[in-house]
A and B are shown apart, each in its own frame.
Chain A
Amino acid sequence: MYKYDSYDQAMVDARVAEFRDQTARRLSGKLSEAQFRPLRLMNGLYLQLHAYMLRVAIPYGTLNAAQLRVLADIAERYDRGYGHFTTRQNIQYNWIKLAEAPDILADLARVEMHAIQTSGNCIRNISADHYAGAAADEVTDPRPYAELLRQWSSFHPEFLALPRKFKIAVIASAADRAAMRLHDIGIRIVKLAGGELGAEFYAGGGMGRTPMIAPLIRPFVPIDQFVTYAEAILRVYNRHGRRDNKYKARIKILVHELGAEAFTNAIEAEFAHLQTLNIEPPAAELARIAAHFAPPPFDADAPAEVAFADEAVAQWVRANTHPHRHAGYVSATISLKPLDTNGKAGIPGDASAAQIRVIADCAQRFSFDEARVTHAQNIVLPHVRKADLPALHAALAAADLATANLDAITDIIACPGLDYCSLANARSIPIAQAIAERMAPKAAAIGELKLKISGCINACGHHHAGHIGILGVDRKGTENYQLLLGGSEAADTSLAQITGPGFDEAGIVKAVDRATAHYLSQRQAGERFLDTYRRLGMASFKEAVYG
């Protein structure tokens, strides 16, 4: 994985010193809250429901064991013993003290981490396919391109005061495992028949209060021009994006209002102009970065066929592993949606300090010192020998990390909701837990079903992209939950539609049960929930849900 050079480290260290000084001035009264607030937000420090919340950037979700151990130490030393992995492949701490925040940033900097640009109207953490560098179906490893974009977007002087926040995802396969078309810019690295690499650009996607699927802007940008093309998009957005209304300030509104064709024409004109300025980073820089992502020394003799005598192991392997480009390996997902032996569900995305250390140990022992955070709030060990899976399962099971439910109805994405978030209108976590506990006995029969819950219209829980989505709203001071059906974040991207009137806490759980029961009674061979929904349509499911 990428290693900081002296410039990277100097930039991060300087930011720690700067924020330490700013915090001291705030505490001594030299800075007012109005002056300090934008400064702390630039360093990922929010004031949330119970305390300060620190959002730490995890570029394209990639971590090594040393970084994981520091994340665990921070949870223990400065927080309340746990962290929350987010849908942007980051981690958040919910109980931070302002006076200690500079020390946390200093600890992070020692392992090449920071919280820069995890808030504010700037280019946020670049996300990517969590199977990058491992998946059998990718045309190349997308991480060098994500890393080049990270370096280009970090402290980019033109793009630190955009109309609104800006999110970019990079993938390199036909399958989309990063919700690419629901980003401000989505990039798919593609390869022409002759072997030439390029970037397929989508722009203007997003969730939030106005969900939109990004249209294709350009099917092929030569790879030695892809940063220039991204710059062209950002420039057009920065120039024409609305600043008069924050709810209409995202690039998706600009694309929608201009129309994809006019928007594309504006991008192409800016791209032509930028090409005359020769701003693309030199090929040598991309090569330098790519060298950091060289494949690890895989065991060429690792057996491709491994039998698992223990049924618990076999079940976990079937559910939680993904094919690897090397036949003797898989990518293994550690579910952070635990269900204990009594059927009690944990909190989606949360991991204790002890669990994070176990993940670190497993990454080091079984996966060439690498782990990935997924946008579905799980952790992937990208390169695990099949023969090591029983030992990995045993280590995870001892830490309550071996729940076999990847992409099942119990593998629920949920935002922190009203239990933690000052923007939320309703709680998300207890709804996720109630649904997981009720549906667990039927989960195997139901198969793949992506259920996503947001506690407000900002959609951090990706409810628009759920096969089943749930949106919590405030109805005269009472929590109410809308049921949505038919969304997808995958290559067949679609936006879920609201079924009808909302439900209370108990009612939404029953509604999910009724929708899935309808699927089970109506499905045809090989159909997932989403396929049956698409075949039958909303009316059929609506009748099943509302009677």
Chain B
Amino acid sequence: MKILTGNDLRTGAVVWWDGAGWALHVEEAAEVHEAEALIAAEEAARRVVGAYAIEATRDGVAGSLRGIRPAHIKDRIRALGPTVRPDLTLKPADPNCGNWVI
């Protein structure tokens, strides 16, 4: 499946298209079919910057991140945060987060 990601224009935070807006958590991402038009509209509305479509699977793994898993490690690191600073990730209390990324 394809999902959309980008960064919030004002804060720079990594965000995911949830079907109606942009969510901070990848598990809220919605499948998209017309990425190009959606990206153009959302960037024009200044809700997101640097948006792009990625491959993902629905079958994630352990912990609270089950659901949507980006196919590439770079996007999994974007989804969670730096693997070397678990305290700065979106799931600082989840010991399985590192396994989900790698």
Contact = CB atoms under 8 A, between A and B. Distances in A.
Interface of A: 26-27, 29, 33, 47, 49-52, 80, 95-99, 347, 418-420, 422, 424, 427, 429-430, 433, 477-479
A50 B80 CA distance: 9
B63 interface: no
Contact of B81 (A27, A50, A479): A50
Contacts of B14: 49-51
Contact of B12 (A47, A419, A429, A430): A47
Given A33-B50, A420-B82, 19 more contacts: A27-B9, A27-B10, A29-B46, A33-B43, A49-B74, A49-B77, A50-B82, A51-B7, A51-B14, A52-B12, A98-B9, A99-B11, A347-B84, A419-B83, A419-B85, A430-B83, A433-B84, A477-B73, A478-B73
A422 B71 CA distance: 16
Nearest to B80: A50
A51 B13 contact: yes
Given A47-B49, A418-B73, A427 B83 contact: yes
B72 interface: yes
Contact of B49 (A33, A50, A433): A33
A47 B12 CA distance: 7
20 contacts: A27-B9, A47-B49, A49-B74, A49-B77, A50-B12, A50-B13, A50-B14, A50-B82, A51-B12, A52-B7, A80-B88, A96-B12, A418-B77, A419-B77, A419-B82, A420-B82, A427-B77, A427-B83, A430-B83, A433-B84
A477 B12 contact: no
A277 B77 CA distance: 54
A102 to B, nearest CB: 13
Contacts of B69: none
Contacts of A33: 43, 49-50
Interface string B24-59: 000000000000000000010010011000000000
B78 A97 contact: no
Nearest to B87: A80
B84 A419 contact: yes
Nearest to B7: A47
A217 to B, nearest CB: 40
Contacts of B73: 418, 477-479
A80 B87 CA distance: 10
